[in-house]
Every structure is written in C-alpha cells, then in structure tokens.
Chain A
C-alpha cells in the first residue's frame, strides 16, 4: 500500500480533505464512535450482566431508580445491558463477515481480472451461478448443517455469500489495470503473478474496496439481525439486535420498550454506516477525481 501512496501523492490526502468537509459523514462517524464506546464500556457501568435474572423486576418499565435504565424483559434481564451486548455481537458479526467477504472477494476478483482470458471467464461464471442462487437459502441450508447458534458458522455462512459483488467490482478494476504500463514494467522486470497482484494490482483497487466494504458492514449487520429475528442466528442467553427485536415484537403490547430500544439502536447503527459509506464513496470514488 506504501507504493500506492507514493505513486499517487495527494490522492489520500485529497480524499481525507473531502471527507473532512462532509458534515454528514463526520456526524455519522461520531455517532458510530459513540455507539462503539457505549457497547464497549456501557455494560460495565450497569450493576447487571446480560444474563442475570432479576426476579424483583420482571418486565419492569424503564426507570433510573431500579438501575434498569431501559427496563427488563419477562425474565428480569436488564435491557440496557442486553441491547449493548447485542450491539457488540451485531458489530462483531458484521465486521467479521465483511472482512471475510472482502478478503475472498478481492482475492477472487483481482485474480480473475488480472489473469483474464479463460481463467477469468471460468471464475466469473462461478460467481454468476452463485449470484443466481438465493443467498438467504444458502445461509439457511448452512445453518441447518452446522447447527444453529454456532457464531463461527454464522460468520462463515454470511461472509461466504457476501463476497460476490466485491469480486465483481474488483475484477472490473483489475481488468482495467491489466495492460497499464506500470504493470507491464513490473512483469518485464520479472515479477511473478502473485507478486504483481499483491504489490501492484490490489493496492490500486483499494479505494473502491474501502467504499464497498464500508457499505457491506451495514448489510451484514442487517442480515445477521434478519437471521436472528427468524430464530436462526445467535441463541439464548446471548442476544443480538435481531433476536432482541424478535423478543420485543412478541411483547410489544405489554412492554413496548422491549421493541423500541433494540429497534432504535439498529436503525441508528445502519443509518450511521450507510452515511459513512456514502461519505467515503464521495471522497474516494474514482469518477469524482
């Protein structure tokens, strides 16, 4: 990546400057930082743990005096702590799944685009087939296979289907780079394919990758919540935002706060990532340069 920095001086600083000028993206970044800090330290401030059953306060409404700032569910578990630990799990799954899909997608797309020819069409044909499959059903099949609630399986399943668009984007970029002079020069000076891919092709596609990765994170968070909402994601006593929303939806008549808190946090989280992603796109989009 250092090469890319020295080859294109000003690109990164210009992008950074554009990002600094984007109030919406900065606001989103501040909001996300706040949520991350709250998820990291918030549960420590509460006297309760996420699976502690407080029999004195069953389905209690939010109240400062009881220490249950956001109330409790029907088992007397503290909603404040559960929501924040739900954010932890949603963020962890969202980030890991995005990382998995970025790594697979970049490697796949860059290889296909750089090598070109028959290898390219074969690799992209595989992507087309995968893309035609309804990905949700692959994930449901995989969760059936690995057993529900195994977070590792969940990461793998979500990441395994998320890399397809990334591969397409990177492949397009790599295809365009293939015959650029500096690539030819690297090849002429004896660089192997793996070396050229790692040192010259991938650093040059990193901009779109960052943008798309930032937009992948909220998709992955949403997808995990969706699975947990259906009961196919994380299992009790662990909570993710999706499973909290499902529990809350069942009790919304008696205890609307059980739905409001996780749903509100999820919305803010998704909105924050989407705005940040849009800001990054505006800052880094090659068409803007």
Chain B
C-alpha cells in the first residue's frame, strides 16, 4: 500500500509538471525578474528531481505546498478546512448505506419472491441506474424549492443541511448493499451448516442471527472498499449540487484553474483515503471470515 501511494504521488507530480506552461504564465505584464523571483520563491527554478525530493519531504511533514492560484493559502489549510465536511458527508452516507441496506436486503431475502422482495429489487435497480447528478437536483427541487422543507444549498453542521446530500450520496450504496445482502443470505441459507442448525432444532431467528448472518454479510464487506471509493467520487457531485464547502470543490476548481499543487494534494488525499478504505475492508473481511485468515 505505501508503494501504491508512492506511485500515486509520483504519477501526479510528474503529470502536473509535464503540463505546458507554469503557474505564473497567466499573470499579465509581469516583469521577467519578478517572475524569476516568484519561481525561485516557490522553488520552481530548481531541477525537477530536486523539486520532487523537496515535495516528498514536505509530504512527510504533512505539507502539500502553497496553492498556486488562491493567495496566501496552503493546500494543507484548504484540506484542513474542507476535509471535515467531506468526511462527515461520507461517513453519514456509508452508515446510512449499511443501516438501511442490510435490513432491506435481509427483509427481501426472507420474503423471497413475495412483494417486499419485488419492491426492494425494483427500487434498488432504479437507485442504481439513476446518476447522483440527476437525483440531487431532483431532490433539491422537490423538497427544497417546492415544499420548502429543507435548504437547497449551503452548509451548517446540522441534520437539515446534511439530509439531502447524504440521501443523494447514499442511495446507490443502499441499493448495492441491499442486493449483496439479499444474494448473500440466499446463498448461505442453502449451505449444509444451516441445514444442520435447523436440524438441531434452533428457531429460524437463531439460525439466521447465529449462523447465517455473518457469512451472508461477507459480500457486503468486500464491497466496502469500492463503496467508499464510489462515495468519495460521488461526493464531488453532491458537493457541487448542494454547494457544500468540502474538499471535492477544491479538486474540481483546482482542475479548472490549473492549480497544480491543489489538484496534486487532492489526488493524494483521495488516493490515500481510497487505499485505506480498501485495506480496512480487507482486514475486516479477514476478521469475519476465518477461512481467509490463515492464508
């Protein structure tokens, strides 16, 4: 994993430096001396390997360098400002996905081929097919503009401001989790040890809670890594739709303004989050499934 992170850092560093033009080319009427001074101040006059080494050293201290376009702010400060908001959003969406998706999937599996199952399947197909940038504006239109129940945009750390963005973000994840739970439980209920448990005379609730639930949730656990990646990606859209001052906005604005250090910092942060999520999911999987542990 540290190797992959190093690959991300190296790739983003050199991709950005390959870009034609420097960060100060757009400034009008700048005397060459001033430009040279500026570049010296940012260390851009050094050879590329030296800059790379310096950037890596900075990263070890948690320094992502100064933003090239936003004055007097370092990328680290921007991340510190935006990250709590994005993280709140992401954690809330992931919790919603698990807390709603798992019971939904269990319910569908237990009432297989009856109406709750069909309803859950149809709803989840729909939730999976509709992209967030359609759902978000639609929800804002219905609940914000027409009904005036919830704010359309803006950020306050309260439930009202969080609800629509979290729902938008969580909807496909809920659907995915519900599907995986349903499939997992149906698979497990056919297993021999479940038949044994039933033959022992355990009640159906005991069979499910004590024997079937844990293995049935394994597909959900291995989906956690991709789910977090999808939520991280989706947060870009949600933050744009609802005007939330999270880190996603900096990534998009940075790409539009060609703010290289900002984009690089964001790519590294999001890359690290994704990698950590995958690692966490793997560990959790090993903890839940003793069969993988010894390999």
Contacts and interface: CB of A to CB of B under 8 A. Distances in A.
Interface of A: 129, 132-134, 136-138, 140-145, 148, 222, 225-226, 229-232, 242, 245-246, 248-249, 252-253, 256, 259, 263, 266-267, 270-271, 274
Given A141-B15, A144-B16, A226-B237, A132 B133 contact: no
A267 B7 contact: no
Contacts of B12: 137, 141
A272 to B, nearest CB: 11
B30 to A, nearest CB: 21
Given A231-B256, A256-B141, A142 B15 contact: yes
A195 B15 CA distance: 36
B129 A144 contact: no
Given A144-B16, A226-B131, A270-B129, A133 B141 contact: no
B275 A263 contact: no
A141 B270 contact: no
Interface of B: 4, 7-8, 11-12, 15-16, 18-19, 129-131, 133-134, 136-138, 140-141, 145, 229, 232-233, 236-237, 240-241, 251-252, 254-256, 258, 260, 263-264, 266-267, 270-271, 274-275, 278
A137 B141 contact: no
Given A133-B7, A137-B251, A144-B258, 10 more contacts: A136-B233, A137-B266, A141-B15, A143-B255, A229-B240, A232-B252, A248-B137, A249-B136, A256-B141, A266-B131
A252 B145 contact: yes
Contact of A129 (B4, B131, B240): B4
Nearest to B233: A136
A149 B131 CA distance: 22
B137 A259 contact: yes
Q: Interface centre among A141, A145, A232, A259, by most B CB within 10 Å?
A: A141
A249 B137 contact: yes
B141 A252 contact: yes
A230 B16 contact: no
Closest 4 CB pairs of A and B: A249-B137, A137-B267, A229-B133, A144-B255
Given A136-B233, A141-B263, A267 B129 contact: yes
Contacts of A274: 129
B277 to A, nearest CB: 10
A242 B131 CA distance: 10
A240 to B, nearest CB: 12
B145 A253 contact: yes
B95 to A, nearest CB: 21
A134 B131 contact: no
The SS class assigned to the B binding surface is: helix
Contact of B131 (A136, A222, A256): A222
Contacts of B251: 137, 140
The SS class assigned to the A binding surface is: helix
Nearest to A130: B7
B125 to A, nearest CB: 9
A129 B16 contact: no
A148 B258 CA distance: 10
A129 B134 contact: no
B134 A245 contact: yes
A132 B4 contact: yes
Contacts of A271: 129
Contacts of B137: 245, 248-249, 252, 259, 263
B129 A132 contact: no
15 contacts: A129-B7, A132-B275, A134-B232, A136-B233, A137-B12, A137-B271, A140-B263, A141-B255, A141-B264, A142-B15, A144-B258, A145-B15, A230-B252, A232-B256, A249-B140
B130 A230 contact: no
A252 B145 CA distance: 9
A232 B255 contact: yes
A279 to B, nearest CB: 15
